[in-house]
Amino acid sequence: MLAYLRTLTRGPVAITLVLLMAVAFAIWGMPNMFSAANRAPARVNGEAVPRADLERLVENFVRGAQRQDPTFTRDQAIEQGVAERAIHQFVRGLGVTASDAQLAEAIQSMPQFQAALDPSGAGNFDPIAYRSAVAEMGFAVPEFEAMLRAEIASVQVFTALSLGTRAPQSFAAFDLAYQSETRELSFVEVPPVNPETMPAPTEEELAAFYSERSSAWQRPERRTLMIAVADPTVFADRVEVTEEQLRAEFDRISSTWAQPERRTFVQITLPSEAAAQDAATRLSSGAEPQEVATALGGQLINHTDVTREDVADARIAEAAFGIALGAPAQAAAGSLAPWSAIRLSSVTAAVTPSFEERRDEVRQSIVAEEAVTLMQDAVREFEQQRRRRVGFEEAAAATGLRAVRAENVAADGSLADGSPGLGFPGAEAIVQAAFEARQGRASDWLNLETGEEVSVLVESITAAFVPELAEVADEVRVAWRINEAANRQRATAEAVVAAVTGGETLAAAAQARSLRVVNSPEGLSRQQVSETFGPEVLGQAFGLGVGEAGVGRLAVTGPDGRPQATPVLMVVGVRSVSRMSPEEAGPILEQIRIQGTQQLQQAMGDTLAAAARGLARVEEDEEVIQQMFPATAAAGS
């Protein structure tokens, strides 16, 4: 081997590689060949943001933010990570820092650093939990504390800058009026008009309607596909399994089926052999284990259905698994405690599967594995035949693959006859691959969840087109009638509104059109109207003045949860408006003002932080960032 390597390094290939490297060094210089690996991903006011810091910040931003917002992307995390450095620089420039006492208080108050098994429930700080959690976040303790100190200082600065902000009383009064407002409303339901009652359109009306909306009848691009299916179950019948193979495979995997012996016993740890013998005697006479442990000052440990390996103390495990079921309790010396008394209560025998019991299972395992190997061999042979220009269908037949033709498939998987699509699992992935491939080219092999592998050839493509009116005249007539029925419905509703605007009462305007008015029994809030009638009716009900009326669609859903195709229109009339006055509100008004103050302070703090980021000179190295986070190049994730 060494002689071979020495020969290889003297050959023409090695000499060529050396010459190419020498030319590269001469043109670009050695450092520049790997410069992206050494550059910082970003600089803030000239200060480099280390790669490791940005990676940790991004990872923790993504982990934390996606719990609240699953759409939060890695690109947003990168932006926040760089922005955080800008804010920390701004605060550091003001000379503000957090004290050691503030840092300690912050760390000790964080719930993730509390003792998980604290019996007092007081949530005491656990140094072990602290170090473990910090390590899990990817930080060394000094690095984490430096970052946290900077965060505390930033909060102090922006809180101080916004602390004097106070919501005026008028803000609270306005918010009170908005939140407490209720309205007495009247509703007139204008039901859908049956499209079947509409007269047939004239040829001119039909042509005009089609001209305005012809894109609604556009036919999608369709492709005719030939699909080669490699099914491992087809190759399973070709597999022959010998007795020697069965025995060898059983020997290889039988240990995974074996179940070790399990025992249930009690252990009382004690300081001396005499105490352990005393405890064993008491246990053998039927005394309760807890009573024995309490009387002798020992600790009771219950071992339930455990294996030998489950017992932490190896010497106790040896003793417990050496006692015969029904034998008296025994005293045993331990490794972790000086002595123990052990009483055995149950034994579940070890299970060792026999060859005959598992014969069929072993055979199925071998057949499944060999079938996949044969299938993959067939796929390779299929590809070789295709390279020799054998037809797609002929190559499939020659290699034992199944060929399926699917004609006129659209990008959504539907077929020209209106059926939903291909009739086997994995159809969605197959159609996607087909619409990414060029005509006359086969896709890469796709692995389906069923274990099958498929390749798709695009035989022909029919481009998307808008048919002539004559081809879709019946469809257009149906659509025209539906549209005309909706126009009639809308005209009726707007006529009611016009009558109210002209001075009629809503009741009179509705009665003249054989419609019924329903008055709300009491004032309704925004939430009540929204939940009952939907957003359009809400906009009318709380956007109109007393005595006015407006039209909104009622939010009606069908059995599938989707909006109803033929909506109900609702004419809404406002009879009265009620709001709580500041005098009636009492202490509620002050609570609203306090909430408003907190919101203003938060908004101001956010604005100041954004200003600090905006003032910073941020330079991002896109090449380095793409190298560090390649997923950001795709879909922004």
Judge whether 224 and 491 are in contact, CB under 8 Å: no
| Residue 70, pLDDT score | 66
188 alpha carbon, distance to own chain's centre: 44
Name residue 455's amino acid: S
Angle made by CA atoms 286, 289, 295, in degrees to the nearest 5: 105
Give pLDDT tens digits for 350-364: 988 888 888 898 898
Higher per-residue pLDDT: 508 or 158: 508
Q: Which residues pair with 620 in a beta bridge?
A: 42
Task: Tell me the HSE value of 458 on the side-chain side, using a 13 A CA sphere.
Answer: 23
Count of other CB atoms within 10 angstroms of residue 128: 10
- Rounded CA-CA distance 203/49 in Å is 71
Read off the pLDDT of each residue in 120-144 and give the average, rounded to a whole number.
71
Higher per-residue pLDDT: 104 or 206: 206
Give pLDDT tens digits for 543-553: 999 999 999 98
Higher per-residue pLDDT: 591 or 478: 478
Task: Tell me the HSE value of 320 on the side-chain side, using a 13 A CA sphere.
Answer: 35
Give pLDDT tens digits for 433-466: 999 989 988 888 998 888 889 999 999 999 999 9
Of the candidates 408, 578, 480, the one whose C-alpha atom is nearest the C-alpha of residue 199 is 480
Least confident of 174-178, 299-303, 366-370: 174-178
Give pLDDT tens digits for 44-73: 788 887 877 777 777 766 666 656 666 667
Q: 162: pLDDT confidence band, cut at 50, 70 and 90? A: low
| Residue 117, pLDDT score | 42
Give 479's DSSP letter.
Answer: H
Give pLDDT tens digits for 403-443: 989 899 998 888 887 777 776 677 888 898 999 989 988 88
Percent of the chain, pLDDT > 90?
42
